[in-house]
């Protein structure tokens, strides 16, 4: 699950540059077949993490069809992935602080702002484009603007037939509610998500957080254990941390060294790993890094 933090856009300048790119249509001509070909290439490059190539192909798609809403959504996803990479460096690969963290955080915020501008433009081009509303809301969630995120996810769910995953939209809406301390609504949305996707790791983790906040330790324990039991399918390091915290609340501290190994297996240098280590008394630190 991603963490908090967050920007400025050259969207229209980039679009103009795309329209003037060699081989692209100009004026009022529209070639949807060529636009689709470029859009497919954009998606392929994005999956490979070739962000510059993905951007180039999406701009070419816009050159052939300036009204292609999916191209703007894809451009937003490129920058959202870049922001995710910055988050990974900041909090997962290493737990950076100070000047190094400030520089990367500023870059991350820049990418998030650019991503949101593209998602907004995609929704303007196609008002029933639920995926663009969901992506806008995801940026707002990362920016900790929980009210706006909740509004965005609710808007996305108005166009549920346009969403890749209704369950994910509900789980994310629940997380916005959770951060607004609207726990009953958060729990209701998570149960809806799990009704349609019973094995959804993210929903189980977040439902566990609702129970943990309510101090319903047994229910929280059950939800976190469902996630931790599947480290490959559910690599959510925070679930390991909160399972350890739940054990502390239940007076089961003797099990913490064993649980620590699971937490560290998902990233030894992360900020979450540091919190897991802090829960284990030094006298019982017999766990070696995996």
Query: So what's the pLDDT on residue 186?
Result: 98
Taking residues 177-206, what's their average pLDDT? 97
Each residue's pLDDT tens digit, 82-106: 999 999 888 888 888 887 788 889 9
Query: So what's the pLDDT on residue 276?
Result: 97
- Mean pLDDT, the chain, rounded, equals 88
State the Cα–Cα distance between residues 152 and 32, nearest whole angstrom. Answer: 29
The Cβ-side half-sphere exposure at 169, using a 13 Å CA radius, reads 23
More confident residue, 218 or 88: 218
Taking residues 51-71, what's their average pLDDT? 97
Name all domains of the chain by residue range, CATH numbers in brackets: 1-126 (1.25.40), 199-290 (1.25.40.10)
The Cβ-side half-sphere exposure at 229, using a 13 Å CA radius, reads 8
Residue 5 has pLDDT above 70, yes or no: no
Assess contact for 243 and 224: CB atoms under 8 A. yes
Query: So what's the pLDDT on residue 281?
Result: 84
Tokens of 217: 């330790």
Write a three-state SS string for the chain: CCCCCCCCCCHHHHHHHHHCCCCCCCCCCCCHHHHHHHHHHHHHHHHHCCHHHHHHHHHHHHHHCCCCHHHHHHHHHHHHHHHHHHHHHHHHHCCCCHHHHHHHHHHHHHHHHHHHHHHHHHHHHCCCCHHHHHHHHHHHHHCCCHHHHHHHHHHHHHCHHHCCCHHHHHHHHHHHHHHCCCHHHHHHHHHHHHHHCCCCHHHHHHHHHHHHHCCCHHHHHHHHHHHHCCCCCCCCHHHHHHHHHHHHHCCCHHHHHHHHHHHHCCCCCCHHHHHHHHHCCHHHCCCCCC
**Which residue is associated with the tokens 């501290």?**
253
Query: So what's the pLDDT on residue 286?
Result: 52
Taking residues 181-192, what's their average pLDDT? 98
């Amino acid at each position: 699950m991603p963490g908090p933090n967050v920007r400025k856009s050259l969207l229209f300048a980039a679009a103009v540059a795309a329209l003037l790119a060699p081989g692209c249509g100009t004026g009022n001509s529209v070639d949807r077949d060529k636009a689709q070909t470029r859009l497919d290439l954009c998606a392929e490059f994005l999956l490979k993490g070739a962000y510059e190539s993905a951007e180039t192909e999406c701009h070419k798609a816009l050159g052939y069809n300036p009204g292609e809403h999916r191209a703007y959504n894809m451009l937003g996803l490129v920058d959202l992935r870049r922001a995710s990479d910055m988050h990974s460096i900041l909090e997962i690969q290493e737990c950076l602080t100070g000047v190094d963290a400030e520089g990367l955080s500023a870059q991350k915020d820049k990418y998030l702002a650019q991503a949101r501008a593209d998602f907004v433009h995609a929704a303007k081009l196609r008002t029933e484009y639920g995926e663009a509303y969901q992506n806008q809301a995801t940026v707002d969630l990362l920016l900790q603007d929980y009210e706006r995120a909740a509004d965005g996810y609710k808007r996305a769910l108005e166009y549920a037939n346009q969403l890749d995953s209704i369950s994910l939209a509900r789980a994310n809406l629940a997380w916005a509610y959770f951060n607004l301390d609207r726990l009953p609504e958060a729990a209701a949305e998570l149960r809806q998500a799990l009704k349609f996707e019973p094995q959804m790791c993210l929903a189980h983790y977040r439902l566990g957080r609702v129970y943990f906040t309510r101090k319903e330790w047994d229910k929280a324990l059950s939800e976190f254990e469902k996630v931790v039991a599947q480290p490959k399918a559910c690599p959510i390091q925070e679930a390991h941390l909160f399972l350890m915290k739940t054990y502390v609340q239940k007076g089961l501290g003797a099990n913490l060294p064993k649980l620590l190994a699971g937490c560290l297996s998902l990233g030894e240098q992360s900020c979450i790993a540091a919190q897991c280590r802090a829960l284990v008394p030094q006298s019982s630190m017999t766990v070696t890094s995996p």
